[in-house]
Amino acid sequence: MRAPTTPDTHPSTLPEARPGAPPRPRSLVLALVGSGGDGVALLGDLLLGMAAREGLYGMMVQSYGPQIRGGESAAILRLADHEVQYEGDQVDILLCFRLRDLARFQTSLRVHPGSIVVIDQGETAEVPAWLGATIEKPYRFPFARYEEGLEVDGPPKNMLGLGLLCRMLGWPDTLAQDILRQRFAARRERLQSNLESLATGFAVLDPPSRPAPEGKGLGLFAETGNEAVARGSIAAGLGFFAGYPITPSSEVMETLIDELPAAGGRVVQAEDEMAAMGMVLGASFGGVHAMTATSGPGLSLMTEMIGLSSMAELPAVIVDCQRAGPATGMPSRTEQSDLFHAIYGGHGDFPRAVLGMFDVVHGRDVMPHAFQIAEKYQLPVIVLSDAYIAQRRQIRDPAVARRERAERERWTPENGLPARFDVTGEHGVNPFRVPGTPGGSYLAAGIEHNQEGYPTADTTMHQRMNEKRFRKMTGIAAETRDWYRTLGDGAAPKGIVAWGSTYGLLREWVIAHPEWRVFLPEIIHPFPMEAFQSWRRGLTSLAVVELNYQGQFHRYLSGLTDLRGAKSVARSGGTPMTAAELDRLLEEAGS
């Protein structure tokens, strides 16, 4: 008999250091801060690309202001020898081109006494105390060029920084050169000047050393959550996408513009979100797998049409990359506050399913799940992503599980029956009549209708149709009873229930907190209640952890089951929750 294995997500033994080489850490966190034009995002992107080539895992989150272009921006990278879905609480290397740009990130950046802080040689300000540790001797490097006391244009700071960091991390300069050659292949002049600046940065004498973790030696693969969503959808059989630009979801559409036509599909940039959702329903009416992606304001505009999708029984997948709301809110900031809207939004009674996306890697899996439910049960499925994972760039294993194309049961003249909206269909679902099929013509309607689809104001029929449509939820609940994840020791006395991108933090947090176990539904509505009840058995306390002001998930669960005694651990979004903060919030809640 073989011993049971545990998932190897966070191995606890250190790899052996090479003789003579400085010890390699398991993970390393870098923060890069600058102003618009400093190219902080590109620098982070290049470093992450280099890490992937080295066979390192890692992730990068970006932080920028409400204007989205320009202003202060920060990139936080974590590199590790294992998959990570959380950027950590403290940075090991902080590179800041101008100290005054740091202030904006007061709530999200912390250093420790061993951190290396890199600042400009001409910097006159002190490294601020709020960073959490006293940095007496920051490392100074001449990033900026001055004439008569004023900063003037010089070599690109991000390329100087790339050379310097490459050196500090113990990477060969050829690694940086290769990635620059790839990135700037079409721009020879820019490449040449970048290579020169890289060399200048790399040539510095005796920089502080902070070796990167040991890579696997074979190349890994980096993508963002939005890219993973786009690619997961193509794998599920996506044939039509319509969308409208909105932060933080636009990259779903941008990726599909590049990749869907080659897979035989089509993308439309619509005039607004109502049109986008309308086009999705039109394509779905035509028998084609269709989806849209948006954020909270777009979801609001689509809501009438999501009801139509359910009423006319047209499959549709809607990805909501949540941002801090309401109204315009904080477009570039994350939050989990569209849960109520996704589950309850819209007038009248109608069934729909709601899925939560855990992390970038999960994007490839959650989308086929969404299409599976939408196509099989002929209703809208909302996938809740958020700014934290949508725009996060993540290194993952290149192997992606093959996915079956989701199928919609088709009506043919041979099977003849039943009527399009027959009330007796199993789980309330009848074969779909695809335009072009002889003899299959029918009326799809947003107005209440009889079994043929023709308008009716018969109140008995309205009741029967509601019963028919809501029977789908029973079928979905049975089919998705295993769509959840648990973390930690199943016998631990304390429990956390959470959803969506909080997974990334909890995955690591629970290792350091063995007295806790965690339950995270992948399908939030209908909720996998049976699994949850069995998971919560024997708990002495329960906390519902989420990133919104009202405690929406706590309230939702309270309506489904007896949640007396459970604590709501919720705060407004903006920044994702950190491990230290979760400790504090749980303590305050008395858990």
Partner 1 sequence: MSTMKAKDYRSGLEPVWCTGCGDYGVLKGLTQALADLEIPPERLAVISGIGCSSRLPGYTKSYAFNSIHGRALPIASGLKLARPEITTVVVGGDGDGFSIGLGHIPHAIRRNVNLTYAVLDNGIYGLTKGQASPTTAQEFKRDRGLAGVEERPLNPVLLVLSSGCGFVARTHAGNLPHLRQMFRAALEYPGFSFVHVLAGCVTYQTPRYADEVYQRCDLLPESYDPGDLSRAMDVARAERFSLGILYQRPPEMPAATSPWEGEAAIWPSVADAKRERPGE
Residues that bind partner 1 (CB under 8 A): 239-240, 242, 257, 260-261, 264-272, 274-288, 290, 304-305, 308, 312, 410, 433-447, 453-455
Nearer to partner 1, 103 or 447 (CB): 447
| Beta-strand relationship, 380-386 and 139-141 | unpaired
Say how far apart CA 502 and CA 487 lie, in whole Å: 12
Nearer to partner 1, 35 or 450 (CB): 450
Nearer to partner 1, 198 or 275 (CB): 275
- As measured in angstroms, the least distance from the Cβ of 391 to partner 1 is 22
- Residue pointed to by tokens 């899996």: 365
Say how far apart CA 541 and CA 538 lie, in whole Å: 9
Of the candidates 433, 323, 428, 318, the residue with the CA atom closest to the CA atom of residue 367 = 318
Token digits for 563?
A: 């949640």
Residue 286 CB neighbours (<10 A): 14
Say how far apart CA 65 and CA 61 lie, in whole Å: 14
- As measured in angstroms, the least distance from the Cβ of 208 to partner 1 is 48
- As measured in angstroms, the least distance from the Cβ of 90 to partner 1 is 44
Say how far apart CA 372 and CA 379 lie, in whole Å: 11
- As measured in angstroms, the least distance from the Cβ of 305 to partner 1 is 7
Which helix (H) or strand (E) segment is 101 a member of?
Answer: none
| Beta-strand relationship, 72-80 and 27-35 | antiparallel
- As measured in angstroms, the least distance from the Cβ of 283 to partner 1 is 4
Nearer to partner 1, 430 or 502 (CB): 430
Residue-wise burial string across 146-171, b where 16 or more C-beta atoms lie within 10 A, e elsewhere: eeeeeeeeebbbbbbbbbbbbbbbeb
Residue 386 CB neighbours (<10 A): 31
- As measured in angstroms, the least distance from the Cβ of 140 to partner 1 is 49
Nearer to partner 1, 142 or 282 (CB): 282
- As measured in angstroms, the least distance from the Cβ of 254 to partner 1 is 11
Which helix (H) or strand (E) segment is 73 a member of?
Answer: strand 72-80
CA 495, chain centre distance (Å):
24
DSSP letter assigned to residue 40: H
Nearer to partner 1, 305 or 487 (CB): 305
- As measured in angstroms, the least distance from the Cβ of 341 to partner 1 is 19
- As measured in angstroms, the least distance from the Cβ of 447 to partner 1 is 6
Nearer to partner 1, 267 or 582 (CB): 267
Nearer to partner 1, 66 or 455 (CB): 455
Nearer to partner 1, 440 or 574 (CB): 440
Amino acid identity, position 490: G
- DSSP strands (E only) in 244-326: 266-269, 290-294, 316-322
CA 240, chain centre distance (Å):
22
- As measured in angstroms, the least distance from the Cβ of 187 to partner 1 is 23
Nearer to partner 1, 170 or 439 (CB): 439
Report how far apart, in Å, the C-alpha atoms of 336 and of each of 326, 370, 532 are. 12, 19, 21
Residues 6+ apart with CB under 8 A from 478: none
